[in-house]
């Protein structure tokens, strides 16, 4: 690479063989309108279909394209991270591979960046072609996250965004393992602005976020940006202990002033089950945080690169 491009566009791809050609066509068409040079970094996140072959073919015919192929599926957030680590541009744009984020919006993002903003994040004003379950759950997730989080995280905002070199450098120094990139960008600060856009339906293929993955992602968001779930134990403890004291008082009054001694085991049974349940749930919450500490303490690299193309470095040694 001779000089630093103006813009690096980062596209995480996991089993996107149905869309990738069309995505590249539309993306590169749009990017011809950006003055100052661009690079497109496709990150293959351990796809099990033909995505990586298609990406290598695209790279072979288009000198603005770089491909990073991870050694296995590391997940969307780590794929994006690998792209950000490799980006050379003055600014970088994160965009999904499925054309749900319209490439034309990138031009508006660049315009706002030129006006002096460090982060331009796309906010979904409308979502088409997504199940109502996904829409409703996403809506409440972002609101709950915001209530719990220590830094305000913008509502209805995904990873589609532009970040300046300054933000990129800060993000590169944040090596946390359980990553929630959109929250991390909020944490960094600087001048940030929302850019509303209409989220289109997926061009082809199916969502790579099935239900359980979405739940885990939501959990990552909350657990990485809030310790409120830990405090919950204290609050619930105070309330139940208070109830317990009331119960003692009630039993004493009955014992001393009436002949009507508490009978039956129902209340006792309910209390035991309730307390046992709460304690197990809170142990689980503790476990989540401890698990994260454990993962962080191992200090492993965040991802492993299997192959890189188009970065101008020598080809990797052949694999046996």
Structure tokens at 94: 């994160």
Tell me: does residue 156 bind Mg ion (CB under 5 A). no
Taking the CA atoms of 58, 51, 163 and 129 in sequence, report the sign of the dihedral they define: positive
Are residues 45 and 73 in contact, defined by beta-carbon separation less than 8 angstroms?
yes
Q: Could you tell which of Mg ion, ligand UDP, none binds residue 178, using a CB distance below 5 to 8 A set by kind?
A: none
159 belongs to the binding site for Mg ion (CB under 5 A): no
Nearer to ligand UDP, 100 or 164 (CB): 100
| Residue 201 DSSP symbol | P
Residues that bind ligand UDP (CB under 6 A): 12-14, 16, 45, 73, 75-76, 79, 96-98, 100, 207-209
If one asks whether residue 23 binds Mg ion (CB under 5 A), the answer comes out as no
Contacts of 64 (CB under 8 A, 6+ apart): 5, 28, 31, 38, 39, 40
Task: Please tell me the distance from the alpha carbon of residue 28 to that of residue 17, in angstroms, as a whole number.
Answer: 17
118 binds, options Mg ion, ligand UDP, none, Cβ within 5 to 8 A by partner type: none
Which of 17, 44, 47, 100 forms a contact with Mg ion (CB under 5 A)?
100
Shortest CB 142 distance to Mg ion, Å: 16
Considering beta carbons, is residue 76 or 309 the nearer one to ligand UDP? Answer: 76
Say if CB 39 and CB 88 are below 8 A apart. yes
Q: How far apart are the first and last CA of the chain?
A: 29
CB of 219 to ligand UDP, least distance (A): 15
Which lies closer to Mg ion via its Cβ, residue 98 or residue 220?
Answer: 98
Give the binding site for Mg ion (CB under 5 A): 96, 98, 100
């Amino acid at each position: 690479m001779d000089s630093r491009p103006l813009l690096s566009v980062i596209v995480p791809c996991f089993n996107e063989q149905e869309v990738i050609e069309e995505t590249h066509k539309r993306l590169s068409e749009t990017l011809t309108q950006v003055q100052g040079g661009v690079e497109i970094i496709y990150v293959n996140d351990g796809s099990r279909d033909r995505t990586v072959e298609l990406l290598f073919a695209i790279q072979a015919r288009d000198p603005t394209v770089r491909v990073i192929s991870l050694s296995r599926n590391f997940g969307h957030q780590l794929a994006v991270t690998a792209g950000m680590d490799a980006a050379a541009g003055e600014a970088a744009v994160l965009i999904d591979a499925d054309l749900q984020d319209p490439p034309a919006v990138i031009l508006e993002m660049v315009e706002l960046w030129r006006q002096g903003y460090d982060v331009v994040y796309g906010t979904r004003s409308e979502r088409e072609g997504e199940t109502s379950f996904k829409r409703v759950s996403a809506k409440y997730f972002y609101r709950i996250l915001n209530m719990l989080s220590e830094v305000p995280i913008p509502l209805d905002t995904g990873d589609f965004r532009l970040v300046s070199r300054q933000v990129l450098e800060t993000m590169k120094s944040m090596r946390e393992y359980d990553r929630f990139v959109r929250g991390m960008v909020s944490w960094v600060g600087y001048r940030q602005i929302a850019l509303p856009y209409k989220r289109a339906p997926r061009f082809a293929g199916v969502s790579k976020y099935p239900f359980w993955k979405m739940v885990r992602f939501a959990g990552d968001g909350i657990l990485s940006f809030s310790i409120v779930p830990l405090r919950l134990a204290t609050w619930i403890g105070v309330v139940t202990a208070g109830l317990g004291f009331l119960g003692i008082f009630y039993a004493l009054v009955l014992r001393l002033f009436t002949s009507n001694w508490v009978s039956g085991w129902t209340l006792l049974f309910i209390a035991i089950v309730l307390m046992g349940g709460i304690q197990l749930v809170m142990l689980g919450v503790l476990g989540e945080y401890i698990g994260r500490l454990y993962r962080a303490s191992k200090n492993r690299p965040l991802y492993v690169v299997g192959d890189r193309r188009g970065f101008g470095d020598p080809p990797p040694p052949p694999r046996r």
